[in-house]
Amino acid sequence: MLTNLIAALEPLAQTHAIHLVAGSIAAGLVLLILPGDALLGAIFLLQRAAILLLLWPRLPRQLVASSAVASLAVGLIYAATALSFFLRRRTGTTARSRLLQHLPFRIAAAALALLLASAAARAISSVPIPQLMLWMVAWLVVQSAFSLLLAASPLQTGIGALAFADAGRILYSLLQPDALLWGVWAACDVLIALGVARLAINTTVAPDATPPAVGVAPPAATPGQQPDLSAEQPNPTPTEEEPE
């Protein structure tokens, strides 16, 4: 079964390379537009799968396998973190409306990122790199910068760091990649995902109860009702009895 899958994937990178590049760019645009963290892991896996399929003919199978395992681990970490957010607290209508308020701005920023990536790819078209690889590197660098600028959570910051790592990984694949360095690179992706997931959990968990405010005045008494001054008056201290 695995042999049949490999045989089906090998010509995919050669006959549908432009579709893989377009799919990766489309996934990156969605990552920039999404205001929340719920689907970051799934869309990241789609983008990383397109990148790995594009690099399939250039890399040994063990390097592709290590990157695939690391990518799956990153996706699972992101999915588990999003699930923990859902189990701890449900996002209210106020939080959702606050996220949707920034949606037009994120769409405009994603369009600007696409224009900048296109201009960058054309400006460095003389570099002796395959054009599709050049487009991917230019897009991933711009996506990384915009992800860091638009990041509303540590998970989105992690997506920006992973996109920049993918750009460097594509350039490194054009050389003679070392298996050990490639494996360490893949392990760093998992460490980045673990770090931002831990940071996201620490910044979103709220305490169960807030301490009572000090010095808050009691509520005003309604007409016809005596005010409760027990909270304002100190407890009477016993006085010493006079000797008879």
Tell me the C-alpha to C-alpha distance, in Å, between residue 241 and each of 37, 234, 235, 238: 70, 21, 18, 9
Report which secondary-structure segment, H or E, holds 73.
helix 61-88
Nearest to 148 by CA among 92, 192, 188: 192
Residue 136 has pLDDT above 60, yes or no: yes
> Which band of pLDDT confidence, cut at 50, 70 and 90, is reported for residue 9?
low
The CA R_g of the chain, rounded to the nearest whole Å, is 28
> Which band of pLDDT confidence, cut at 50, 70 and 90, is reported for residue 129?
confident
Show the tokens assigned to 75. 């996706």
Question: What is the pLDDT, as a whole number, of residue 163?
Answer: 94
Residue 224 falls in which region: left (phi positive, over 0), alpha (psi -120 to 50) or beta:
left
Contact, 37 vs 82, CB < 8 A?
yes
> Which band of pLDDT confidence, cut at 50, 70 and 90, is reported for residue 141?
very high
C-alpha of 77 from chain center: 11
CA distance 57 to 167: 17
Average pLDDT over residues 86-113: 72
The pLDDT tens digits for 169-203 are 999 988 888 889 999 999 999 999 999 999 988 87
Show the tokens assigned to 190. 């998992």
Instruction: Quote the strand ranges of the chain, DSSP E.
Output: none
The pLDDT tens digits for 227-243 are 555 544 555 555 555 55
Show the tokens assigned to 29. 């645009």
Global pTM value: 0.75
Contact, 66 vs 186, CB < 8 A?
yes
